[in-house]
């Protein structure tokens, strides 16, 4: 350990990964109750990057206890909304001041290019915290004129309070480790909840470093607890815990269903951001200079490890060859390499498991008759690299068209009639995102209305903003993150009714 980044390159990061990382419970950095640690790997090399405390049921127990105490009895609930907002803003400032360091941690742990982590992941996370800091003072109830027909002549004052939902368990994935932590923590803190956060076992490091900044910012002990560990142990214990009021999960649809079952015991509130198989529709009247690179980045951004990746590329027949060849050309130009190499445009997949999964899908595609016009294989034999791949000869019923691959693999299909495309685009158990490329604004908005997806991009893709709600239709999830919509997931409404009898 410690060799992944030399102290000359980044002394703080070298130091951070050199020591076994502990978990944050009740404001203290502690080892796992079992004393166990687990390794996290550098996906560019397959070598162990750092050792991390392995949280399990007992650690979750302690973390939930701390979050409960902080919610029920700590100074957190007595703080004004303005004080809460200022703390969140301070966290954003601290995060931004450590952009370089978080860029390295994210690149080493997840594999993504350092430049992208610094230009996208870290600033988006800081921006999310700032956006949510602003909301802390703007969460308002209503006064409600009530009539109550069975009490003629009576007068009431009725109003609603929006109160924090309580102790929140948050389980996040490995594709945007820091950003997903921000998406979850930001609204929980803005609304006054307390949190037990479980980062993904593949990428726990940036959340743990963020925990240090949370304490440095001055959040009271127990408000944020961070327990790294595996999903089937720590994650399952958190989702099932009877003293957790809400669980927020981002990950696979399969695990999302397990979360729903686990939450049933105490009927905790559940929000889910799950998988996708998003259609990206290019009409013949599109600006192809924008649509071709846009469709390439729709699938290849973050190595295809985006739940909203544009993995089904539908192109109107007369421009099909040109668009598909154009996307393939873009794919061929992508430089694969270690995230720390400044020339790298695409890093490795996050893990051996993902590499095997994506290669398994490619094999399944080939055996069903799909053909790769570029890519189609693992790249090199060190680290977990997969060639950016464009599949043609694909049919709607193939595995590679129906199922989420979560890798740099797009299935291209022609369509001949604009009327035909909507049912095909909507023919999915998922409904997270979709895109349409056309110069016809009427068509663009008509199609946007009819696509069954939580986000529709018109002449763009992967545009995210803290103010824009994100979430899924159908089996892509429950609830919306970001925007003011997310506040509903972390608050509950209390109706207060006062009799103003003289
Ligand atoms: P992927 O398959 O892409 O790794 P997962 O849905 O398995 O995505 O993982 C997303 C998050 O869910 C991770 O933090 C993981 O540890 C957690 N997780 C996995 N299985 C469970 C489970 N049974 N209960 C709770 N959390 C889980």
Q: Specify the pLDDT at position 8.
A: 76
Indicate whether 419 pLDDT > 70. yes
- Judge whether 255 and 177 are in contact, CB under 8 Å: no
Instruction: Give me ligand 1 centre to Cα 18, in Å.
Output: 26
Instruction: Write the pLDDT tens digit of every residue in 183-201.
Output: 999 999 999 999 999 999 9
Give the model's confidence band at 390: pLDDT under 50 very low, under 70 low, under 90 confident, else very high: very high
What share of the chain in percent tops pLDDT 70? 99
Q: Which atom of ligand 1 is nearest to the CA of 175?
A: 3
CB atoms inside a 10 Å sphere around CB 90 = 18
Contact 236 CB / ligand 1 (< 6 Å): yes
- CATH number given to 279-465: 3.40.309.10
Long-range contacts made by residues 372-380, C-beta under 8 angstroms, separation at least 24? 373/324, 373/325, 373/328, 374/328, 374/331, 374/332, 375/331, 375/408, 375/409, 379/336, 380/336
Long-range contacts made by residues 358-361, C-beta under 8 angstroms, separation at least 24? 358/304, 358/386, 358/405, 358/406, 358/407, 358/408, 358/409, 359/386, 361/399, 361/400, 361/403, 361/405, 361/407, 361/409
Instruction: Write the pLDDT tens digit of every residue in 13-39.
Output: 999 999 999 999 999 999 999 999 999
Contact 255 CB / ligand 1 (< 6 Å): yes
pTM of the complete model beyond 0.95: yes
- Same fold yes or no, 7-274+479-494 and 279-465: no
Instruction: Give me ligand 1 centre to Cα 350, in Å.
Output: 14
Instruction: Give me ligand 1 centre to Cα 181, in Å.
Output: 14
C-alpha 316/C-alpha 321 separation (Å) is 10
Tally of residues, the chain: 502
Question: Sign (positive/negative) of CA torsion 445, 451, 456, 459?
Answer: negative
Pocket mutation for ligand 1, best pick of 59, 170, 173 (most atoms within 8 Å of C-beta): 173
Contact 171 CB / ligand 1 (< 6 Å): yes
C-alpha 205/C-alpha 127 separation (Å) is 20
Give the model's confidence band at 1: pLDDT under 50 very low, under 70 low, under 90 confident, else very high: very low
Q: Specify the pLDDT at position 188.
A: 98
Indicate whether 451 pLDDT > 60. yes
Mean pLDDT of 79-105: 98
User: Atom 13 in ligand 1: which residue has the minimum CA distance?
Assistant: 200
- Average pLDDT over the chain, rounded to whole? 97
Pocket mutation for ligand 1, best pick of 172, 206, 229, 251 (most atoms within 8 Å of C-beta): 251
Instruction: Give me ligand 1 centre to Cα 293, in Å.
Output: 32
Q: Which atom of ligand 1 is nearest to the CA of 171?
A: 14
C-alpha 500/C-alpha 502 separation (Å) is 6
The secondary structure of 362-405 as a DSSP string is HHHHHHTT-EEEE--SEESSSS-EE--EEEES--TTSHHHHS--
* Active-site residue list: 273, 307
Q: Specify the pLDDT at position 201.
A: 98
Indicate whether 113 pLDDT > 60. yes
Contact 166 CB / ligand 1 (< 6 Å): no
The fourth-level CATH superfamily of domain 7-274+479-494 is Aldehyde Dehydrogenase; Chain A, domain 1 (3.40.605.10)
Instruction: Write the pLDDT tens digit of every residue in 259-295.
Output: 999 999 999 999 999 999 999 999 999 999 999 999 9
Indicate whether 347 pLDDT > 70. yes
Contact 407 CB / ligand 1 (< 6 Å): no
Indicate whether 3 pLDDT > 70. no
Contact 127 CB / ligand 1 (< 6 Å): no
Mean pLDDT of 177-185: 98
| Of 253, 250, 224, 213, the residue nearest 235 (C-alpha) | 250
Q: What is the CA radius of gyration of the chain?
A: 24
In Å, how far from its chain's centre is CA 115?
Answer: 19
Contact 339 CB / ligand 1 (< 6 Å): no
Indicate whether 2 pLDDT > 70. no
Contact 239 CB / ligand 1 (< 6 Å): yes
Q: Which atom of ligand 1 is nearest to the CA of 258?
A: 23
Domain boundaries, the chain: 7-274+479-494, 279-465
Phi–psi pair at 385, nearest 5 degrees:
-90, 140
Mean pLDDT of 295-299: 98
Q: Which residues have CB under 8 Å from 231's CB, separation 6+?
A: 171, 200, 201, 251, 255
CB atoms inside a 10 Å sphere around CB 499 = 10
């Amino acid at each position: 350990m410690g060799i992944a980044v030399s102290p000359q390159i980044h002394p703080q990061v070298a130091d951070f990964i050199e020591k076994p990382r502990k978990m944050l419970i009740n404001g203290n950095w502690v080892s796992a109750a079992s004393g166990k640690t687990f390794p996290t790997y550098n996906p560019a090399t397959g070598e162990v990057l750092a050792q991390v405390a392995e949280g399990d049921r007992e650690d979750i127990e302690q973390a939930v206890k701390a979050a409960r105490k902080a919610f029920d009895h700590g100074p957190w609930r007595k703080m004004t909304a303005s004080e809460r907002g200022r703390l969140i803003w301070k966290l954003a400032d601290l995060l931004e001041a450590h952009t370089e360091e978080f860029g390295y941690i994210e690149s080493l742990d997840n594999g993504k290019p350092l430049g992208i982590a610094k230009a996208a992941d870290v600033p988006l996370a800081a921006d999310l915290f700032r956006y949510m800091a602003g909301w802390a003072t703007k969460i308002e109830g209503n006064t409600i004129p009530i009539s109550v027909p069975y009490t003629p002549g009576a007068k009431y004052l009725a109003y609603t309070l929006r109160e924090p939902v309580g102790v929140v368990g948050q389980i996040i994935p490995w594709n945007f480790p820091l950003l997903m932590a921000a998406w979850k923590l930001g609204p929980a803190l803005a609304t006054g909840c307390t949190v037990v956060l479980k980062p993904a076992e593949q990428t726990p490091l940036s959340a743990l470093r963020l925990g240090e900044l949370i304490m440095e910012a001055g959040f009271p002990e127990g408000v944020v607890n961070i327990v790294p560990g595996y999903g089937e142990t720590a994650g399952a214990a958190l989702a099932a815990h009877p003293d957790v009021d809400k669980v927020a999960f981002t990950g696979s649809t399969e695990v999302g269903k397990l979360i729903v079952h686990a939450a049933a015991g105490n009927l905790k509130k559940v929000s889910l951001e799950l998988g996708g198989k998003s259609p990206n529709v290019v009409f013949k009247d599109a600006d192809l200079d924008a649509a071709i690179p846009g469709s390439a980045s729709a699938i290849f951004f973050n190595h295809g490890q985006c739940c909203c990746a544009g993995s089904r590329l539908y192109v109107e027949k007369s421009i099909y060859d040109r668009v598909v060849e154009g996307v393939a050309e873009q794919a061929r130009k992508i430089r694969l390499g270690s995230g720390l190499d400044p020339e790298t445009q695409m890093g490795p997949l996050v893990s051996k498991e993902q590499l095997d999964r994506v290669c398994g899908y490619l094999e399944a595609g080939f055996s069903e008759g799909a053909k790769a016009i570029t890519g189609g294989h693992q790249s090199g034999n060190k680290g977990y690299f997969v060639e950016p791949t464009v599949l043609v000869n694909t049919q709607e019923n193939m595995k590679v068209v129906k199922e989420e691959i979560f890798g740099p693999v797009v299935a291209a299909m022609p369509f001949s009639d604009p009327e035909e495309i909507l049912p095909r685009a909507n023919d999915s158990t998922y409904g997270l995102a979709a895109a349409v490329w056309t110069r016809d604004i009427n068509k663009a908005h008509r199609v946007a209305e009819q696509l069954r997806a939580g986000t529709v991009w018109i002449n763009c893709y992967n545009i995210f903003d803290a103010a824009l709600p994100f979430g899924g239709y159908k089996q892509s999830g429950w609830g919306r993150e970001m925007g003011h919509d997310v506040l509903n997931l972390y608050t509950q409404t209390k109706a207060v009714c006062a009799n103003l009898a003289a």
